[in-house]
Structures are given as structure tokens and as C-alpha cells.
Amino acid sequence: MISYDASNRLQVILSYRGTILPSVLSYMLWILIWTGMLLFCFKYFDLKYEMGSQLHTFLGVALVFLLVMRTNSSYDRYWEGRKQLGALGITARNLAVKSNSIIPDSEQGFRTEISSLIGAYVLCVKEHIRDGITNKELKGLSTANKEEIENFSSPLNGILCILGKRLRSCVDQKWMHPPEFGSFNGSLDDLQGVLRALDRIRFTPLPFAYVNQLKVFMMIYLGTLPLVLIPKFDYMTLVGMFFAVYAFVGIEEIGLEIEDPFGDDPNDLPIEQICQGTKRDVAEILGVKNT
């Protein structure tokens, strides 16, 4: 995610990185070539055809309505993703605080194991909604934990099951009473709930029919717009089409970019910092060295 000063208007306006300009340049080039060809035909063949602007204005309003729905839908996914990442951090820290309150200070090995399991879960969630979990996210775990996780098809399921067993053993050690374990179970359920919510955002695309309708409608609108502008604005139509493509296609590209906010694009969520910060805080709460 790009950090910026919203009050520095000039810096924001003149920025290139993080804007949608690189995404629309190719589309803009084709539209300008198409407009140039129509201009040539009008000039060379002395065409007098003029498409009425009233119908085109009505279609433009409909297109804007579709674009607003598209952008709002994408931003809902973006904001929901941020809320769920926040919930992941809160739940992991709360679990660490509760664990810290019952595990004796002398049990440094046990504290380290709990910390590494919670931290590994957070990092595995991050990679699960990206490109897939690798051994890198599990490197902080002990050999015994890694062997246990190999029995599960998903490392995330394995980590939660191991965490549940280790925390349940605190009852056997008489570090807490059986009724207190319900609170720990609740935190494990919350971790699972956050994972499924992130899954829903990441792996549920917008319906194809909606995306297809928007793209086809926009192509027809922008493809016929020069027929409305050329008779009135002549060569200035090229300038008008430049800004029309930048506006309409740019808005669509913004929605496309933020509907999956978990990557490493300039406008994606700072998921790496969020998860690494959570792992670091968990280790600090439990009084162990962050690895």
C-alpha cells in the first residue's frame, strides 16, 4: 500500500506509481487509433453523418450507474478484507494474552511453542489467500510440530488442532480450570471464522455475466462516441476520447484492482506488515524471542 499525504494536492496529482494510467494505456491507444481512422474517413470521404447525442447521453448515464455499482462492490470487498485482517490480529493477540495469564513463567519451552504456533497460523493465513502456503511460513515451528502438521491436508487445520491440544493440556497441568478452556476454544473458533471470511473474499469473484455486460457496454459506448464528437469537435475529438477512456476505463480498472486486496500491488492492503506485526506482538506478549 502506498503511503501519501492527502493534503499535498500537487504530489497526489502528479503521481504515476499506484495510479490506473499504466492499466489503461493499451486500451487508450486502441481507442485513439480507432478515432483517428474515423476522423480520416470523415475527412477523406467528406462524410456528413452525425449520430444524435441524446441517446448517447442516456447510455452514458446507464454506464456510469454500472461503473458505480462495480466500484462500490469492489470497495466493499476491500474494506471487508481490512476488517477481517484486523480481526485476525485482535484474536491472535487475545489468545496470546490469555495464554500468558495461565502459563507459568518457568515454562519457557511451552510459551515458545504456543507463540510459534499462533505466529505460524497468522503467516499461513496470509499466504493461503495469496499463492499458497510454503515451508517458509512453518520455519519457526519445532520439528515435532512440523511432523504433526504433515498428518493434515491443510497446515492451517493442523496448527489449529495442535493449538487446541496444547491449550487443553493446560487443564491437565492444573494451570487453569476446565470451564476456563471454553474461552480459549472461542478464540480458536474466531481464528477459523476469520480464515473462512477471507476465503469468501478472495475466492468468490464477481459474476461473469455482470463483468461481461459492463465490458461489452463500455466497448460499444466508447467505440461509437467518436461518431457523436467528430462532427462537432473535429480533431479535438482525440483529446475528448483520451479523457473519456481515462475516466470510464480507469474507474473499471480501479474496481478490478481493489476487488482482490491481498496481493502486493501498490493499492493492495499492507497484509505483510499486518501479519508480521501480529506475529511480533504475540511473541512479545508471551515473553519469547520472535523468530
Q: pLDDT tens digits for 17-32? A: 888 888 899 999 999 9
Residue 53 has pLDDT above 80, yes or no: no
Contact 101, 253 (CB under 8 A): no
Residue 6 has pLDDT above 80, yes or no: no
Contact 249, 26 (CB under 8 A): no
Contact 242, 28 (CB under 8 A): yes
Confidence band for 35, pLDDT divided at 50, 70 and 90: very high
Which percentage of the chain shows pLDDT scores above 70?
98
The full DSSP string for 112-176 is HHHHHHHHHHHHHHHHHTTT---GGGGTTS-HHHHHHHTTSSSHHHHHHHHHHHHHHHHHHTTSS
Average pLDDT over residues 56-79: 89
Highest mean pLDDT of the ranges 55-59, 251-255, 274-278: 274-278
pLDDT digits (tens, 9 = 90+) for 174-191: 899 988 899 999 999 999
Contact 43, 231 (CB under 8 A): no
Average pLDDT over residues 237-257: 91
Confidence band for 3, pLDDT divided at 50, 70 and 90: confident
Average pLDDT over residues 206-234: 89
pLDDT digits (tens, 9 = 90+) for 81-139: 999 999 999 999 999 999 999 999 999 999 999 999 999 999 999 999 988 888 888 98
pLDDT at 17: 83
Give the number of other Cβ atoms within 10 Å of residue 198's Cβ: 22
Q: Write down the domain spans for the chain.
A: 19-77+206-270, 92-204+272-285
Alpha carbons 137 and 198: distance in angstroms, whole number: 18
Average pLDDT over residues 219-245: 91
Distances (CA, A) of 253 to 21, 76, 80, 261, 287: 9, 16, 19, 13, 45
Left, alpha or beta for 8 (phi > 0: left; psi -120 to 50: alpha)? beta
